[in-house]
Amino acid sequence: MRNDLITLIPSRQIVATVLLCALIWCDPFAAHGQDRFTPRTGGPDEVVELINQHIRQAWEDNDVEPSALASDSEWVRRVHLDIVGSIPSVDVVESFLADRDKSKRAKLIETLLDDPGYTRNWTTIWTNLCIGRQTPRRTSRTGMEKFFREAFGRNRPWNDVVFDLISAEGHFEEEGAVNFLLSQMTNRDDAIQATAKATRLFMGIQIQCTQCHDHPFVTAWKQSQFWEFNSFFRQTRRIDHRSFDAASGRRVDDFSELVGTNFSGPVYYENRAGEMNVAYPSFFGVDVDPERSTERRTELARLMTTVQPDQPPYLARAMVNRIWGHFFGFGFTNPVDDMGEHNEVSHPELLDLLAQEFIDNGYSMQQLMRWICNSEAYQLTSSFAKNNRYDDPASGNPPLFSRMYVKLMEAEQLYDSLLVATSADKTGTANWERAQRQRDRWLQQFVVAFGTDENDEATTFNGTIPQSLMMMNGELTQNAIQAAQGGYLYSVLSSRDSDNTKIRRLFLSTLSRIPTRAEMSKASRMIRESRNKLEAYQDLFWALLNCNEFIVVH
């Protein structure tokens, strides 16, 4: 049965018909005020229906009622930001709102999963997760991006992708996967950082504290286990090549590579009492031959990416939780990468079920996203309803997904969205490489390093003052509101449309919706009364780009 699903699901027609009964979606202006809930996503997609059942059950158990369906405006903006990483263009919004097709949401999901923006967005997300925004020394961002572009472009199974990231060897531009470990092995720390990062990122478990002591809350996580994991990484060495540069007459950095060594036997570590202990390679009790002939990282990659008897499917659970968290703002655990008996799972059965389906469907990331985006919960508005105020995970309550949670845009989402809103992508540089470098440079202004050798970093693009100053006064906004020829503001202003139509188009291009009555009257008065119309329009555009609604995904 499950194998049948694999062949069935990716067909667009099937998915489109899945949602035929979602009658309400056909009306672009139907939205708020739907108090009573009726099932809207049934149909032949078994997994989507199972998600809906589990989510609904939790609503009943907690006595909450879901929020109304999101309006098409709210939804079309959200699904673009979530899947392709930027807001929709005004043309896309207008045609979506006008579309009377009952399955238009399902169809749009398919279109976006096929869009080049999908590959670009997820390449950005996973490059940042693996090597950070500030590329560590002697790590190739280009190589890492190339690896993920291929992975997402071809929808490679996630377990294959992780197998490569853990086991890869070679040149940092030719074998892009090596950059994950290169970035974690910038100092000679016996691969402690690599151990902690790999388990956290791919298995959703945070065992970094167990390098020094047993986990305080999870009895199963012992200090010995950290070092057993760690011993898998100890056959690894980086080589940073240098070469002679004729122009300067000096030796300069050349390529770096990751190579295997013939390390064998145990690793040594000190316990809290100051006694030395030994650890041999072992994956949750599955022992691996510690001899020289064993390729330890290949063994670890195999153990991590296949389901081990009597063990939870760590890899699948971690990815399902992370992707769910990407779309809803909260995963089944908070944070998404700290799963363990100490951290309550909001929907344990649903998590297990989705992890199993993910595995059975060949670890297909697109399939996982397709299920999530087609689920009933993903269609809801972010406004509270009368009876779900309890559902506010930002204040510490477990998420019930009875409404969409508001997410702050990432810096990349803002940058790319500004390009869309201002048509700068159409007017600006045609050179992709140069555009990418410009974007990278702009992003660097928000990165704050922590001063460790582990290259950990924070961002000031976090809703604090530096971000608002950048939005109010920064070059990016200044350029955006310049009515330069070819730009969006220019095209709006040079049309013969009425002021009201122009105002409406500026709202659609930024917030993907038409203005409310209050907004329209304020804006049109401002423009009418202004001595300089161009300035008034610029000020309106400035306000639209600076407002709370623009900077969030809701």
Partner 1 sequence: MNLRVPHDMTRRHFLRHLTTSAATLPTLQFVSQMQANAAQVRRNQKACILMWMGGGPPTIDLWDLKPGSKNGGEFKPISTRGDVEISEHLPKTATVMDNLSIVRSMSTREADHGRGRYYMHTSFVPNATVVHPTFGSIVSYELGTQRKDLEIPAFVSIGGASGSPGFLGMAHAPFVVDSNGQIRNSQPAVANRQRLNQRLAMLDVIETGFINSDRGEAPTSHKEIYKKAVNLMTSDQMRAFRIEGENQKTRDAYGDNNFGRGLLMARRLVENGVPFVEVDMGGWDLHDNVFPRLRDDLLPNLDRGIAALTTDLKERGLLDHVVLVWMGEFGRTPRITQTVGRNHWARSWSVVVGGGGLKGGQAVGATDADGVEIIGKSYLPGDIWATVAQALGLPVGKVYTSKRGRPLKLAGGGTPIQELIG
Q: How far is CA 60 from the centre of its chain?
A: 30
Among 51, 76, 79, 544, binds partner 1 (CB under 8 A): 544
C-beta of 305 vs 417, nearer to partner 1: 417
Contact status: 12 vs partner 1 (CB under 8 A): no
User: What token pair was written down for 436?
Assistant: 């990418």
C-beta of 27 vs 344, nearer to partner 1: 344
Q: Which stretch binds partner 1 (CB under 8 A): 88-96, 188-196, 235-243, 432-440?
A: 188-196
Contact status: 93 vs partner 1 (CB under 8 A): no
Long-range contacts of 389-394 (CB under 8 A, 24+ apart): 390/62, 390/64, 391/62, 391/64, 393/329, 393/330, 393/334
Q: CB within 8 A of 376, min separation 6: which ones?
A: 39, 40, 41, 51, 52, 55, 56, 66
Among 248, 310, 396, 433, binds partner 1 (CB under 8 A): 396
Look at residue 548 and give its three-state secondary structure: helix
Look at strands 267-270 and 276-279 and give their pairing. Answer: antiparallel
Find the shortest distance in angstroms from Cβ 188 to partner 1. Answer: 5
Contact status: 309 vs partner 1 (CB under 8 A): no
Among 11, 311, 397, 429, binds partner 1 (CB under 8 A): 397
For the chain, give the number of residues.
Answer: 554
C-beta of 198 vs 359, nearer to partner 1: 198
Find the shortest distance in angstroms from Cβ 393 to partner 1. Answer: 10
The angle formed by the CA atoms of residues 221, 201 and 551, to the nearest 5 degrees, is 130
Find the shortest distance in angstroms from Cβ 421 to partner 1. Answer: 14
Q: Which stretch binds partner 1 (CB under 8 A): 161-169, 247-255, 284-292, 529-537?
A: 529-537
Task: Label each residue of 283-299 as H, E or C.
Answer: ECCEECCCCCCCCHHHH
* Cα–Cα distance measured from residue 542 to residue 280, given in angstroms and rounded to the nearest whole number: 60
Contact status: 33 vs partner 1 (CB under 8 A): no
User: What token pair was written down for 202?
Assistant: 């791919």
C-beta of 79 vs 161, nearer to partner 1: 79
Find the shortest distance in angstroms from Cβ 265 to partner 1. Answer: 17
Q: Pick out residues in 430-459 that bind partner 1 (CB under 8 A).
A: 445, 448-454, 456-458
CB 314 within 8 A of CB 306: no
The residue among 545, 475, 234 whose CA lies nearest residue 226 is 234
Find the shortest distance in angstroms from Cβ 447 to partner 1. Answer: 9
Contact status: 484 vs partner 1 (CB under 8 A): no
* Cα–Cα distance measured from residue 507 to residue 289, given in angstroms and rounded to the nearest whole number: 63
Task: Label each residue of 374-386 as H, E or C.
Answer: HCCHHHECCCCCC
DSSP category for residue 485: T
- From residue 269 to residue 298, what is the string marking binding to partner 1 with x (rule CB under 8 A)? ---x-x------------------------
Q: Pick out residues in 212-271 that bind partner 1 (CB under 8 A).
A: 212-213, 216
Q: Which stretch binds partner 1 (CB under 8 A): 9-17, 232-240, 278-286, 469-477?
A: 469-477
* Cα–Cα distance measured from residue 418 to residue 487, given in angstroms and rounded to the nearest whole number: 12
Q: Pick out residues in 336-395 that bind partner 1 (CB under 8 A).
A: 338, 342-344, 382-384, 392, 394-395
- Phi and psi torsions of 418, nearest 5°: -65, -35
C-beta of 159 vs 422, nearer to partner 1: 422
Beta bridge partners of 449: 457
